[in-house]
Structure formats: structure tokens, C-alpha cells
Amino acid sequence: MMLNIETLKVSIWRGGADGQFVSYDVPRLDSQTVLDVVTYVQRSIDPGLSYRFSCRVGMCGSCAMTVNGIARWTCRTHVSKVSVNDALELAPLSNLPIIKDLATDMSTFFDKWAGAKGQFRGERTRHEDFANVLPSSAARKAADAGIECIGCGVCYASCDTVTWRPDYLGPAALNRAWTLVNDERDVVGRERLRAVAGDAGCHACHTHTTCSERCPKGIAPTLGISGLKRVTARAAVRGELD
Amino acid sequence: MSAATQAKLWYAQRISAMVLALCVVVHIVTILYAVRGGLTAAEILGRTRGNAAFAAFYVLFVLSAAIHAPIGLARIAEEWLQWRGRLMNVVLSVFAAALVFTGLSAVWGLYGG
């Protein structure tokens, strides 16, 4: 009996910003994910390949890469869905400095979350009763819509505005800010609106909606950003941001 | 420029966009209606001279365009040319003033001139 093993042509970015694509042949398997392919290359062909992953089940947000030109979470992306003529091109995420191979430096990405005042700040202590937040309230629903972000950076890497304006906070940080603006327990709303207003904040968004199209969790940061635009512009007109 | 000012400019651009959307529709529908039987300069002036409603509408149109266009050009200059700062603000303020001046001159020419 002759085994008919299909092969996948995989082209992977190697090196830093001035690196290049290197080709590898990887056996094609059923239900193979893109992360499986990268893991095969590192374990069986070149142990020097650098990439990030952790949970492998779409929870941790660490395995995002550019797959055939589009940013995706690789652990939940099947090869059958994205390969073109049995070929894959894997590059690090765009809009972030490359450390090596498929690993990018995500410091700026997370610093921007802090810059958008992405930390919750309440006023109750553990000695007080829980806050009662009505699940059916409009604010709670708006917060729910954006709360499942796993911080993978797919939206940030896909955003043209980030490319054009590197100081722009980006979709993930603004989405986080929007969930907190809608958190009735939070007490630093005014400061947060000040942090996300203006040309490096929500008002830079051109509503291209690429972030919403590519978010693997189905979140629509564009929606949250337009909410922030509305709220901050009104606050600015009332003089609340001065 | 403070974030609050940037937010106000964004708001001004959005509101002016809404006004412009309406103005453009009225403008085009009026043109289509007016040219049905051919069009001459005398015909146009006959309709516009002394017509206060015409003048008010186009003053609104000109002012909206003068607010909307420079703010949009500032975004393009910042994002595509990496041109920011005081000089850009001055140039675009002059551009806005030029739009107001040429626009209102045209309105005056048709209304009173």
C-alpha cells in the first residue's frame, strides 16, 4: 500500500524587521490548525523558530499571527479554512515591532490599554455589600458586548489608523475603555473620557471596521469607539474635559 | 491642541457633515429642477437676486463647508504626510477663511451684485 501524504508549503518570517520568509514542507493532517503547523516546524524542522502560544483553545490571546496577509488567532484557525493552493504564509502581527520570527513586542499595545485608563477603579471596599447591576440595563449590555476581549492584538494589527498614526490608542484599548465607561461601579469616568478623547484617541477612528471584522471573539470595537466619540464630544462641548 | 479642543473639532466636523448632506441634496435637486428648460445667466440671476431664502441657504452651505473641509484636510495631512503642529493649523485656518471669503463673495454676487 502506498501512503499518500499531502504536503503543505509553509512560508514563515524569520529574523527581525529586516528578516525574510523561509519555506518549509509540513505534512498536511486532518483538522490541522495553523498553530499545529508552526509547532511542527519548531519541533521537527527548526527548533530555533520563535513564536508565542499558551492555552491552544482560544482563551489566552497569545498566538495571533498574520496568516496569508490577515491577522488571526492561530490556535482556532484551521488550515483548511485559510490555505491557498496548499500554501500558507505566516508573518508576525503588523503594527508591532518584531522581536524575532513570529514574536512581536506587545508592550506598546498594552501600554495603550493603561493610557486609555483601562483599569477598573471602584469605591466600595470588601466590607460593603455587592453592587447590584441590573443585567438588562443598557449600560450593562454595552459593557457585556465588549467584555470578552482576550487581548490578542488582532484588531490592533489590522487597524489602518494605527499604521498611519502610531500614537493612536487603537481598537482594543478603546473597547476596554468603553466597557468601563458603561460600568456603573467605576468612579474615574471623567479622567477616562479625557484620556480617550482627541486625535490620538477615539476621534482618530475612521470607522473602517476592520477590527470588528477580524476580532476572533466577535466583538465590535468600532461600536464602542463610536460610543466613546459621542460621549466624549458631548462632554467636551459641556466643558467637562478641560 | 488639547484633547478637549480636538474632540470639539471632531463634533463640529460631524455636525457640519450633517448640514452639508442636506445642503448638497437641496442644491442638486434645485439644479436638476432649474435646468429642465435650458439655463442662462439671466435666468439664474432672475431667481437669485434679492431672494433672501436663497442667500440664507447658501450662506449656511458655505459656512458648513468652511468648517468641514479644513478639519478633514488636517486629518489627511497628519496621517498621510505626518504634518502636524502650529504651522498646519495656521495654513488650514487661512484655507477656512479663504473658503468663507470666496463662498460668501459668490453668494453676494448672485444675491445682490
* Mean pLDDT, rounded, for A79-104: 97
Q: Please tell me the distance in Å from A72's CA to the nearest CA on chain B.
A: 26
User: Which of A9-23, A72-86, A138-152, B43-57 bottoms out in mean pLDDT, i.e. has the lowest?
Assistant: B43-57
Q: Look at residue A121 and tell me whether its pLDDT is greater than 60.
A: yes
C-alpha cell at A176: 476596554
Q: Give the least confident one: A1-10, A55-64, A105-114, A176-185.
A: A1-10
pLDDT recorded at residue A109: 98
pLDDT recorded at residue B39? 83
Regions in chain B scoring below 70 on pLDDT = 113
More confident residue, B112 or A164: A164
Provide the pLDDT for residue B113. Answer: 67
**Structural domain count of chain B:** 1
DSSP A42: I
Say whether A51 sits in a helix, a strand or coil.
coil
pLDDT for B43? 86
Sign of CA dihedral A211, A158, B7, B72: negative
pLDDT at res. B84: 85
What is the Cα–Cα distance from A154 to A63, expressed in whole angstroms?
10
CB-closest option in B7, B79, B80 to A198: B7
Residues A200-222, mean pLDDT to the nearest whole number: 97
Residue A2 has pLDDT above 60, yes or no: no
B3/A237 Cβ within 8 A? no
pLDDT for the residue numbered A3: 56
Structural domains in chain A plus CATH codes: 7-104 (3.10.20.30), 107-237 (1.10.1060.10)
Res A242: pLDDT? 84
Q: Say how many CA atoms lie within 13 Å of A212 toward its Cβ.
A: 16
Q: A149-188 burial, b for 16+ CB within 10 Å, e for fewer?
A: bbbbbbbbbbbebbebbeebbbbbbbbbbbbbbbbeebeb
Please give the pLDDT value at position A35: 98
d(CA B11, CA B6): 9
Tell me the CATH number at B31: 1.20.1300.10
Q: What ipTM describes this predicted complex? A: 0.82
Region A84-97: mean pLDDT is 97
DSSP annotation of B72: H
- Report pLDDT digits (tens) over A15-54: 999 999 999 999 999 999 999 999 999 999 999 999 999 9
Residue of B nearest to A204 (CA): B75
CA angle B74, A172, A200 (to 5 degrees): 25
Question: What local confidence, expressed as pLDDT, does residue A178 receive?
Answer: 98
Q: Is the pLDDT of residue A94 over 90?
A: yes
Q: What is the model's pLDDT at position A4?
A: 60
Per-residue pLDDT at B44:
86
What domain range includes position B78? 3-111
% of chain A residues with pLDDT over 90: 96
What is the pLDDT, as a whole number, of residue B1?
Answer: 83
Question: CB distance from A226 to chain B under 8 Å?
Answer: no
* d(CA A133, nearest CA chain B) in Å: 30
Interface of A with B in 166-205 (CB under 8 A): 194, 197-201, 203-204
In chain B, residues with a C-beta closer than 8 Å to the C-beta of A194 are 3-4
Mean pLDDT (whole number) for A188-203: 94
Q: Hey, are the CB atoms on B6 and A233 less than 8 Å from each other?
A: no
